[in-house]
Amino acid sequence: MRIFLTMFAIVGAFATPTIPTAILDSYVLEQYSEKITQELEEQLSKQNDGRTLRCTREYGYSFFKLENGDRCYIPPPHFLQELGAHVCLALGEEPVVFTNIILSQYDEGFYLEPHVDVACDYRYKSSDFYFDEKVYGLVIDADTTGALYFVKWEGVGRPPLDLKPIYSLEEEAGVVFCLKDQLRHFPYFHGVSKVKNHRITLTFRTVSFEK
Ligand SMILES: [Fe+2]
């Protein structure tokens, strides 16, 4: 018995970490699809710096403003909080009020560099804020090649864009996930592989400030 337990522990220690996923009931996504479409018709910000190419619309605190010390806050639309609660419940998690929500649109050739979301133990530029442990995501439109992937990188500086993923999310419309635990933290980085046609997602996070 002890041998089996030891073997189990050894295998467990070397197993590839993953994140919890679930799928939303299709009526939930249908219920919000018109409002999401309306948001996508608003002006989106294009991020294009050679390591990332995507269009976003951000609600609540703005990541880039926070990085510059600007704590301006515009409450996210109520329907996005409702949708965020559905995401939490689908994953068996307690709903929370999200203070940073990002609607991301990836068109042909778009991608997102591997990164670690700012965490209590991982800051950019000595930032005075971080995102709480649980980061949630919802795939609204899935793509055939572009998907969330994870790499492990313990080198100096930012990871190369062509590292082989250790794990990729199998995406389809309605897939939800909670980024937490091992894959939420250094040395694990997550990004989005190059999109062939079109990919739409929502990210739900809660901002905390250093006391
Ligand atoms: Fe991220």
Render pLDDT for 18-51 as a digit per residue (tens, 0 to 9): 999 999 999 999 999 999 999 999 999 999 999 9
Q: Is the pLDDT of residue 8 over 80?
A: no
Lookup result for tokens 């590839």: 16
Q: 3-state SS string over the chain?
A: CHHHHHHHHHHHHHCCCCCCEEECCHHHHHHHHHHHHHHHHCCCEEEECCCCEEEEEEEEECHHHHHCCCCCEECCCHHHHHHHHHHHHHCCCCCCCCCEEEEEEEECCCEEEEECCCECCECCCCCCEEECCCEEEEEEECCCCCCEEEEECCCCCCCCCCCCCCEECCCCCCEEEEECHHHHCCCEEEEECCCCCEEEEEEEECEEECC
Is 7 within the bounds of a domain?
no
107 inside domain: yes
Domain range for 202 is 16-209
CA of 203 to the centre of ligand 1 (A): 8
| pLDDT tens-digit series, residues 86-119 | 999 999 999 999 999 999 999 999 999 999 999 9
Q: In whole angstroms, what is the distance from residue 110 CA to residue 133 CA?
A: 27
CA dist 208 and 100 (Å) reads 10
CA of 189 to the centre of ligand 1 (A): 8
Q: Is residue 60 part of a domain?
A: yes
Ligand 1 center to residue 191 CA distance, Å?
Answer: 7
Q: Encode pLDDT of 42-81 as tens digits.
A: 999 999 999 999 999 999 999 989 999 999 999 999 999 9
Ligand 1 midpoint to CA 174 (Å): 19
Task: Tell me, yes or no, whether 141 lies in a domain.
Answer: yes
Of the candidates 38, 59, 7, which has an alpha carbon nearest to the alpha carbon of residue 204?
Answer: 59
Q: How far is the CA of 14 from the centre of ligand 1 (A)?
A: 24
Tell me how far the alpha carbon of residue 99 lies from the centroid of ligand 1, in angstroms: 15
pTM of the predicted structure, to 2 decimals: 0.92
Distance 137 CA to ligand 1 centre (A): 9
Does residue 193 lie in a domain region? yes
What is the total count of domains within the chain? 1
Furthest-apart CA pair in the chain: how many Å? 61
Cα–ligand 1 centroid distance for 78 (angstroms): 23
Rounded to the nearest angstrom, the distance between the alpha carbon of 5 and the centre of ligand 1 is: 36
Ligand 1 center to 2 CA (angstroms): 40
Does residue 5 form part of some domain?
no
Model pLDDT, residue 134:
98
- For residue 122, the model assigns a pLDDT of 81
Confidence of residue 151 (pLDDT cuts 50, 70, 90): very high
pLDDT at 124: 76
- Looking up residue 169, the CATH number of its domain turns out to be 2.60.120.590
pLDDT of residue 210: 85
Distance 15 CA to ligand 1 centre (A): 23
**Which tokens in the block code for residue 82?**
């409702």
Evaluate whether residue 11 is within a structural domain. Answer: no
pLDDT at 12 over 60: no
Please tell me the distance between residue 190's alpha carbon and the centre of ligand 1 in angstroms: 6
pLDDT of residue 61: 98
Q: What is the mean pLDDT of the chain?
A: 93
What pLDDT shows up at residue 9?
A: 54
Residue 38, pLDDT score: 97
